[in-house]
A and B are shown apart, each in its own frame.
Chain A
Amino acid sequence: MSQLLNYLANGLVFSSIIVLGAIGLSLVYSIANFANFAHGDTMTIGAYTGLVTLGAIGAAGPELLALPMGFYLALLAGMVVAAVVAVATHYVIYKPLDTDSIGMLITSIGVAFVYRAGVQTQFGTDFREFDITILRPVGFIEDAIGVTITLHELAIVIVAAVLVVALHVVLQYTTLGRKMRATADNEELAKISGIRTDRVITSMWVIGAGLAGAGGVFLGLYNQLSPRMGFNLLLVVFAAVILGGIGSVYGAMLGAFVIGMVNQLTPLFTDYGIPIETDYANAIAFIIMVLVLLVRPQGIAGEGGG
């Protein structure tokens, strides 16, 4: 039982990271209308910006959830730089293009390579870690319910939750949110209604890439940093977005939750005598993705059309 709770706790942490990537991917899909293959590498940029920032200012300041203020500044820097890079990419590369969604998709592969090459040139291909002490699981939680979770993992879940709620508020209760929803729904109509869709698209890149940057920093805290970290996660994030319904932000959140859980619950197969190694956790996510596409191409929360 406590084993199952442990898997669920891991699932929650992993889901929190995926959700931060999935929202941006889904926003780009609904507003810019293409599958952005550079999104994973945007996460990588966020993570390495965090690494540099933390290295520069050091793990200083008072601590919150066992993470120094320096880390939170690094997180912020990761979000900002990821957003700036994405907006610059939009203006320099995507916007002047005169092509369809497939052309955009292919271009974004090129962009992904350029991002990753940039990170690789600066930092090499070795694995790196944030200069933060690795924690032991929180004692009283382990004693009470047998779940081994560290304060850092709790911090990931809590900050992700804060960001997701903030996005929800922006989307539902602000003018920008209404404009974004209108643009996602029908760009032409939004334009005719007097919405400056250019600005909306820019804000979309800021929000999507900012969240991806945060996801990248957390991925680095959860695992390690490497130039391929974001790209390796990209397909899992795609699985989440498709599962939830491409273009639906709330669907992406739900999809990320399910895919993250499934990913971390994979050991259950072996526990119940089905010999599927945890190495296949991602494979299971992809197969779920294909099955969903087959049965319900619009995803769980998507609306018709496919």
Chain B
Amino acid sequence: MADETQATAFEADDRDTDALAERVVTWFIGLVVAALLLGLAVGLVSPAYLLYLVSLAAMFGLLSLGLNVQWGYTGLINFSVAAFFGIGAYIPALLSASGSPLPWDVSPILGLFAAIVVVVLLALAIGIPTLSLREDYLAIASLGLAEVVRLFFRNQQNWTMGTSGLGGIPTFFEGVPFLGTFAQEMPTVDLGIYTLGFQFWNSLLNFLLVAAFAVGVYLVLRRVHRSPWGRILRTIRSDEELAEALGKNTFSFRMQAFVIGSVAMMFAGVFYAYSNYYLTPGIFNPIYTFYAWIAVILGGSGSNRGALFGGAVIVFITEGTRFLGLGASFRLFSVGLLIILIMRFRPQGALPPKKELIWPSAHEGGERSE
């Protein structure tokens, strides 16, 4: 009896801190938006740069949405995010860039579909040997296999241009009527402190592209998460034996989650390639994997809106420190400190998923998988 009262007290306590966290997040977002708008008004932040920042947040959001399907829904510790991000960037770029050592010259949109095929194959290749491993082994093994992919892109000069980098990447809409020449043909608008020219229209187009990716992926993931399929994933995460006992092939479901998450990460890579026009194997750097992890943990494992919020915070840190002229060391330090502080004081993240009926053990271990 006493235990029950205590449990309810804890839950009430949790609800209180959750409400507080929600307010803090709202204030944080409000302040950042206000600061950016102020910067825009006084001429510090150009409209093109603002669009770039929002696009970058959406890009990190895609990475963390993908990881959220794998870790947040299913409990897979995937440390190969950078591999899928990099493949998503390299495959369409290699197929469509003028500087590519490969002979084909297809439209970027076809390249996107090629990337989906390659990413699914890579996810199977990484997933088949690793997804049945114990959780921390999976972390190390997937990080190792991501390194193998990175070494391949670094060293196969003849296929990927290696360390000299791949140039001559067209825009994503090359060859598409209207959108293909949108940025060139839009008139230059003079707004006093800003002139909206080619750069602005180009950023706008890039922003619309990544926003379409992010919104599409978000809606699909929200839909599948609420479906019976999503319920099975949550059951696997909280009690794998129960899922097995219910006659579910857990390996197959884990694999499905792994593939879907990887495709979401790929979209981030596609955007990266077509907004940078130049790629180096640095895109396979494990730091992108860690950024995605921080975003998911910060936002709250299992929570899609948390993943998007986490993505925005990553941009706030990386671009904010750059804006203030603070070096790479400071960036690294603040990211490291942030991880430690979250794990210490709020392991469930800023915006943990809302409560729902689920097996009790889902609430164990600090994170909640509603």
Write the residues of chain A forming the contact surface with B, with a CB cutoff of 8 angstroms: 34-35, 93, 96-103, 105-107, 109-118, 120-121, 125, 235, 238-239, 242, 246, 277, 279-280, 282-283, 286-287, 289-290, 293-294, 297, 306
Contact = CB atoms under 8 A, between A and B. Distances in A.
Residue among A111, A114, A297 with the highest chain B CB neighbour number at 10 A: A114
B338 interface: yes
B155 A279 contact: yes
A135 B329 CA distance: 34
Residue among B129, B139, B338, B344 with the highest chain A CB neighbour number at 10 A: B344
Contacts, number: 124
Contacts of A277: 155
A116 B332 contact: yes
Interface in B96-144: 129-130, 133-137, 139-141, 143-144
B340 A102 contact: no
Contact of A287 (B130, B148, B336): B148
B365 A290 contact: no
A113 B366 contact: no
Contacts of B290: 109, 113
A280 B328 CA distance: 28
Contacts of B329: 117, 120-121
Contact of A120 (B297, B328, B366): B328
A109 B144 contact: no
Contacts of A113: 290, 332-333, 335-336, 339
A263 B155 CA distance: 17
8 contacts: A99-B366, A103-B365, A103-B366, A106-B297, A110-B343, A114-B333, A116-B332, A290-B141
Nearest to B154: A279
A294 B129 contact: yes
B47 interface: no
B129 A112 contact: no
B266 to A, nearest CB: 22
What interface size band does chain B fall in?
35 or more
A279 to B, nearest CB: 4
Contacts of A100: 365-366
Given A101-B136, A107-B340, A279-B151, 9 more contacts: A99-B347, A102-B139, A106-B343, A114-B333, A242-B140, A279-B155, A282-B147, A293-B129, A293-B130
A114 B134 CA distance: 28
Contacts of A279: 151, 154-155
Interface in B286-315: 290, 293, 297
A102 B328 contact: no
B328 A125 contact: yes
Contact of A238 (B144, B293, B330, B336): B144
A103 B133 CA distance: 18
A277 B152 CA distance: 11
A109 B366 contact: no
Nearest to B339: A110
A93 B344 contact: yes
A105 B137 CA distance: 11
Nearest to B337: A114
B155 A35 contact: no
Nearest to B336: A113
Contacts of B337: 110, 114
